[in-house]
Structure 1
């Protein structure tokens, strides 16, 4: 059953005001709305919890993470039901996302047990070194303190209450305060109940996790500006994320803001590849573009291709494939409106042809496809801005040199894809230095909407894809965001942290 309240340091707390969910189906529910005062309570409790939680052994923290996964699975049917009602996502998608959520909790448990993330280093003492002796120095990574996490609209589980940001922060030894997303408060409520159950099972300080719900924008500002919060994880819009990033930077003590903000994830379709399998690439693009109503941050919104007969055939196949896609329910009314507005902006752009135009009503979204030239694309900055939804632009260029110009002009992206055959390698090699500077992940002959949760994955990129190009929000390397290196010089073993004492 839903609590309809905030979870603040082990207590389910109401508030002076409430808000009502806006599900795509089923009955709406009423939830307590957050406030800066509740943020303060949660942050203070997180700071109190830090001292005992950060001192737990890695095995104890790993056991806690696995218990959260177990408690989420216990509530699996309830979570799927309300998640589907709130977001319009099909049950199969939410079941898979729940598996990803529990899987990454277990992955981080395994990761911290191995201990490699600690980056332990030891410079032995050299008392006889001339002209000066060297002291003994040991280094280990330490948790930074309480972390704020903002739930994402498009992933009610894997990027929200117990998603990758929360899992990696807890794995690092940092208590977490989550600002739940108002698009799926019931889902967040049930997942918070699962985390609360795991905290109680392991008899941890209740401040190790808190959830503040609501639509009150003052909550986000209060959270990133609270002096006890030491880092922020965020997935959302460029506008909202940049505002919070600026607040973090303006604090008396600036803190890192790990925000994922927006990306068009360009594909470069090379000549030999399109000759050999242009039809298959076009069909694959249409499927990737419309997966989940295009509501993925890795949605490949731009296809850059050399103009000619093969490009025309590629475009025709894409149009045919997209026309076969039925309208899909978008996550919120606001996202649906932003999608319609974005499509209208591109439709009104000069020298951009509309290949598929649709009438999108309420939360139902159908695909849009546009076509333009490389010169027009380079001259119109608006064409390279993300439109969150199943919208694609085919950019036809006159030469491979023009394709390289597109790559050079691109802002930071989460991904870039090369569709290549062996005969394209020489030209692709010229693009690679540009792409690897512009993106966090370069793909060959695939589609970026699948993000593997693994050791080697990078889900981030140069601004505006993210606010910290050296970080990832997916994969085990995400734990680095919430750690800092500490050196210990000539410290007796009896006083050293357990993780470095024997090194």
Structure 2
């Protein structure tokens, strides 16, 4: 049952007078449940509980945290069809998407459980002391990663499960030993409460301290500002717009003690189609990219919003085919009327720019909150001169840029803001002649794809989901995969510490049998 209340630690709470509802974009109606917006006092209480919990939770073994993470996954699966139904009603997304995202969410949790149970992720390093070294003794130094403290995670509008309440940020922070306070996204607060209830059940079943997790409801920005500026909060995770992520980054930077904000933000994910590929299989590529542009109604951070090629007959044929194919795809529902409105406004702003040609823009009536997918084209010169065309349009829309030559194409790539992904479509060994272009693309993105589509983010240790600003606020880290745990820890050294008082990870006898760097050599001894 959805109560509409906040979880302040393991207690449901609704002390405030402000309430809000979620919305069914498919039916274009508000959903019955009222959600209670957290008061300043409730938020303060959540942070206090998280701080108390941290003093206990940070000492828990990897094995104990793994039991907790697996229990969360089990409790989410136990929600079964109730979760799927609420997810679909609050998003307009199909049940298959909901089930797939649920599967990804529990996979992430279990992956982090495996990681912390094995234990080598702490990157233990030992440099043994040499007391009789001359002219000065060498101290005994031992280093490992330790958790930062309470973490605030902001739920994402477009991924109610995988990037929200129990998503990658939360799973990684809990695995690192950090309590989590989630600022639930108001568009899917019901889904958020169900997941929060699963986390609380798992915490109670596995003996976690009260306050290891809280779930905050709010429809405005005040709650987020209070959480990020709170002196006892030590880090922030965010997935969303550049405007939202930048606002949080600025708040965190102005604190007396600045803290890291790991924000994954906007991206247009440039795709370069090389000439031979266009010549040999332009229609096939157009068909593939029509599907990628409209996948999930274009509501992915990796949606291909920019396609680059060298002007000519082959590129013109590709553009015509892409427009034709995208018109054949049935429109689909967007997550919320506000998102639909922002999409139509952004698309209109792009196609109204001077010297922009509309290739495809669905005419006629379509269902309320359904997106009218579109494609536009522009010359490379115009694109370079008009920065408005560089902005993300969140939805099923892409701009194809016809570059005069390779030099202009490289100039465009060099001038792009940081991106999550870049893609190069090539035939045979064609790409071997474009080493400079590859290098320029690598400088602007976090992941470079060969002969594929950017939509689809595999959850594995080798995935980088991040990139130069503004794709993310710190390109040294990924938001996906087990290596994302590194965002929520800091390195810490013990010097000349008695062996018996060291953490197990750093003791001489290596009781956890983890891989460590001992005097310059990796081993488990």
TM over 0.5: yes
Give SS of 1:61's match. helix
The superposition leaves residues 276-317 of structure 1 with CA deviations (integer Å, 9 ceiling, x where unpaired) of: 221111111110100000000000111101111111111111
CA distance in 2, matches of 1:466, 1:150: 15
What residue number does 1:484 align with?
490
Query: Shift of residue 385 of structure 1?
Result: 0.5
Give SS of 2:85's match. helix
Q: Is the 8 A contact 1:180 1:188 kept in 2?
A: yes
What residue number does 1:217 align with?
221
Structure 1 stretches lacking a partner, 5+ long: none
Q: Which moved more, 1:59-68 or 1:15-24?
A: 15-24
Q: Is the 8 A contact 1:98 1:158 kept in 2?
A: yes
CA distance in 2, matches of 1:70, 1:335: 32
Query: Shift of residue 226 of structure 1?
Result: 0.6
What residue number does 2:22 align with?
21
Q: Is the 8 A contact 1:97 1:158 kept in 2?
A: yes
Answering whether residue 125 of structure 2 is matched by residue 124 of structure 1, we say: no
Answering whether residue 36 of structure 2 is matched by residue 32 of structure 1, we say: yes
Q: Which moved more, 1:489-498 or 1:290-299?
A: 489-498
What residue number does 2:515 align with?
none
CA distance in 2, matches of 1:58, 1:452: 25
Q: Which of 256, 266, 273 is the equivalent residue of 2:270?
A: 266
Alignment of 1:343-492 (within 5 A): 343-358=347-362, 362-492=368-498
CA distance in 2, matches of 1:74, 1:311: 51
What residue number does 1:6 align with?
6
Q: Which of 88, 91, 98 is the equivalent residue of 1:94?
A: 98
Query: Shift of residue 343 of structure 1?
Result: 0.8
What residue number does 2:77 align with?
73
What residue number does 1:193 align with?
197
CA distance in 2, matches of 1:455, 1:21: 35
CA distance in 1, matches of 2:152, 2:448: 30
TM-score by length of 1: 0.98
Query: Shift of residue 169 of structure 1?
Result: 0.2
Query: Shift of residue 76 of structure 1?
Result: 2.2
CA distance in 1, matches of 2:13, 2:292: 42
Query: Shift of residue 216 of structure 1?
Result: 2.7
Query: Shift of residue 318 of structure 1?
Result: 0.6
Answering whether residue 244 of structure 2 is matched by residue 245 of structure 1, we say: no
What residue number does 2:169 align with?
165
The superposition leaves residues 43-101 of structure 1 with CA deviations (integer Å, 9 ceiling, x where unpaired) of: 11000000111111100101100000000000021111010000000000000000000
Structure 2 stretches lacking a partner, 5+ long: 511-525
Q: Which moved more, 1:82-91 or 1:271-280?
A: 271-280
Q: Which of 116, 131, 147 is the equivalent residue of 1:143?
A: 147
What residue number does 2:513 align with?
none
RMSD of aligned alpha carbons: 1.2
The superposition leaves residues 184-206 of structure 1 with CA deviations (integer Å, 9 ceiling, x where unpaired) of: 01100100010011011012112
Answering whether residue 336 of structure 2 is matched by residue 332 of structure 1, we say: yes
Give SS of 2:149's match. coil
CA distance in 1, matches of 2:392, 2:367: 20
TM-score by length of 2: 0.94
Give SS of 1:364's match. coil
